[in-house]
């Protein structure tokens, strides 16, 4: 394979997907990218290509990985679903049952399900936070435990862009004793051989693609309300931070995960396949379907768009009309995304390094996914 070209495998019925993927790399829609589809747990598309850096000095290889921002949330959510399926976590229980300090400032009735569905009223840190504080787990979680909610919990969604990972992650830590990144690695990614990391070892740094920031200003530039300002500016997201050892090594379970389309699809196929992947059962089928239970819907106070949230995932609805009722998804700032279709036992994942200005996924992945669905229907 020549530098910058497309590598990988494609089932012959999906030739149009490979052609579109290659076109995106050739015309600059993508610099480097990966796209993977599994069906019934089998990989039917696994593509990668282009360049791992904007300067085009490093080819995007099979094992190239990249920061995928909020697509990481699906890994944290799956870890919580796994713990619940073990009978150790009750989504309907008050958070304070597991994390007593969290009851402060009138939060004693907030449920774990509110954390999972972005409705806890803690969309950001009301005290300004320095980006270095994201690397201090104790500080980040203690501030949230002490903070009062910004709206009545459980009444309306408001995207917890960074805070969700610390909130759900601390509940996991309080129950299990291990950090969320450790539980994820030891119970899910490790057994699957999936190259996705919530907290990347320094030994893997040379495989990480460099993100190219979006052409427009960061997420905070769209902030209109106080809630949006707090969510996106405490602290402001700095894409260049993803090139640092501090960011990569830290456990930032809502935004700091590093992987590629193959590893994303491999992990999330657990849900698409009713709890089984690579011959191993990770969750019961009922434990998987729990994620589909709608917790809240309405116009999101942070994103400003209509949403439907299950337990850790977006569900079919106004912002995702193509999905059936047994589907869920989430994506990351800049363009990465994963779509999980339980009805068709299908998982579609995309990860790239040229960022668009969108908050959770964009049309590059959706166009490729549409070609997958067309081929399956044909």
Secondary structure (3-state) at 309 = strand
- Residue range 137-182, pLDDT digits in tens: 999 999 999 999 999 999 999 999 999 999 999 999 999 999 999 9
Q: Which of 265, 275, 326 is nearest to 85 (CA)?
A: 275
Look up the pTM and report it.
0.97
Hey, what domains does the chain have and what are their CATH numbers? 1-33+359-378 (no CATH), 62-208+218-323+344-351 (3.40.710.10)
Percent of the chain with pLDDT over 90: 89
- Spatial separation of the C-alpha atoms in residues 354 and 275, rounded to whole Å: 33
- Spatial separation of the C-alpha atoms in residues 350 and 68, rounded to whole Å: 9
Residue 3 has pLDDT above 70, yes or no: no
- Residue range 224-266, pLDDT digits in tens: 899 999 998 888 889 999 999 999 999 999 999 999 999 999 9
**CA dihedral sign, ordered 61, 67, 69, 75:** positive
- The region, left, alpha or beta by phi > 0 then psi within -120 to 50, assigned to residue 154 is left
The region of weakest confidence among 264-273, 322-331, 366-375 is 322-331
Residue 331 pLDDT grade (very low, low, confident, very high; cuts 50, 70, 90):
very high
- Spatial separation of the C-alpha atoms in residues 172 and 274, rounded to whole Å: 22
pLDDT at residue 65, as a whole number: 99
pLDDT at residue 252, as a whole number: 98
Average pLDDT taken over every residue of the chain:
95
Q: Tokens 């806890």 appear where? A: 120
pLDDT at residue 317, as a whole number: 83
Secondary structure (3-state) at 12 = helix
Residue 220 has pLDDT above 70, yes or no: no
pLDDT at residue 215, as a whole number: 85
- Spatial separation of the C-alpha atoms in residues 266 and 334, rounded to whole Å: 21
How many residues are given for the chain?
A: 378
Task: Give DSSP secondary structure letters for 60-112.
Answer: --TT-BEE-BTTHHHHHHHHHHHHHHTTS--TTSBHHHH-GGGGGGGTTT-BH
CA angle centred on 35, ends 218 and 179, rounded to 5°: 65
Percent of the chain with pLDDT over 70: 96
Q: What is the 3-state secondary structure (H, E, C) of 235-262?
A: CECCHHHHHCHHHHHCCCCCCECEECHH
pLDDT at residue 105, as a whole number: 98
Task: Give DSSP secondary structure letters for 137-205.
Answer: HHHHHHHHHHPPPSS-TTSS----TTHHHHHHHHHHHHHHSS-HHHHIIIIIIHHHT---BSS--GGGG
Residue 77 has pLDDT above 80, yes or no: yes
The region of weakest confidence among 15-29, 111-125, 230-244, 333-347 is 230-244
Residue 2 has pLDDT above 80, yes or no: no
pLDDT at residue 222, as a whole number: 57
Q: Tokens 């909610």 appear where? A: 149
CB-CB neighbours of 256 under 10 Å: 26
| Average pLDDT for 29-55 | 97
């Amino acid at each position: 394979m020549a530098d910058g070209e497309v590598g990988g495998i494609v089932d012959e019925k999906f030739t149009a997907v490979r052609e579109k993927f290659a076109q995106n790399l050739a015309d600059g829609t993508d610099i480097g990218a990966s796209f993977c589809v599994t069906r019934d747990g089998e990989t039917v598309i696994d593509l990668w290509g282009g360049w791992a850096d904007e300067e085009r000095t490093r080819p995007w290889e099979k094992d190239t990985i990249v920061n995928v921002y909020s697509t990481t949330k699906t890994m944290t959510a799956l870890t919580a679903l796994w713990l619940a399926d073990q009978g150790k976590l009750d989504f309907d229980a008050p958070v304070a049952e597991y994390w007593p300090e969290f009851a402060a400032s009138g939060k004693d009735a907030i449920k774990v399900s509110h954390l999972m569905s972005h409705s806890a009223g803690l969309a950001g840190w009301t005290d300004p936070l320095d980006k270095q504080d994201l690397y201090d787990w104790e500080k980040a979680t203690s501030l949230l435990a002490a903070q009062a909610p910004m709206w009545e919990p459980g009444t309306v969604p408001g995207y917890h862009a960074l805070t969700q990972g610390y909130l759900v992650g601390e509940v996991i830590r309080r129950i299990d004793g291990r950090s969320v990144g450790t539980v994820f690695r030891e119970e899910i990614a490790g057994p699957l051989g999936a190259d996705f990391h919530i907290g990347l070892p320094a030994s893997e740094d040379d495989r990480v693609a460099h993100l190219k920031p979006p052409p427009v200003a960061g997420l905070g530039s769209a902030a209109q309300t106080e809630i949006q300002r707090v969510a996106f500016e405490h602290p402001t997201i700095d894409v260049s931070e993803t090139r640092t050892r501090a960011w990569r090594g830290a456990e930032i379970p809502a935004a700091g995960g590093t992987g590629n389309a193959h590893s994303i699809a491999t992990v999330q196929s657990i849900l698409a396949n009713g709890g089984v992947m690579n011959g191993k059962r990770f969750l019961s089928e009922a434990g998987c379907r729990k994620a589909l239970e709608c917790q809240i819907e309405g116009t999101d106070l942070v994103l400003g768009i209509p949403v439907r949230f299950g337990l850790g995932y977006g569900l079919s609805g106004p912002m995702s009309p193509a999905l059936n009722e047994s589907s869920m998804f989430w994506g990351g700032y800049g363009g990465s995304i994963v779509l999980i279709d339980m009805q068709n036992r299908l998982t579609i994942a995309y990860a790239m390094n040229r960022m668009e200005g969108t908050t959770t996924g964009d049309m590059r992945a959706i166009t490729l996914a549409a070609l997958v669905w067309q081929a399956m229907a044909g």
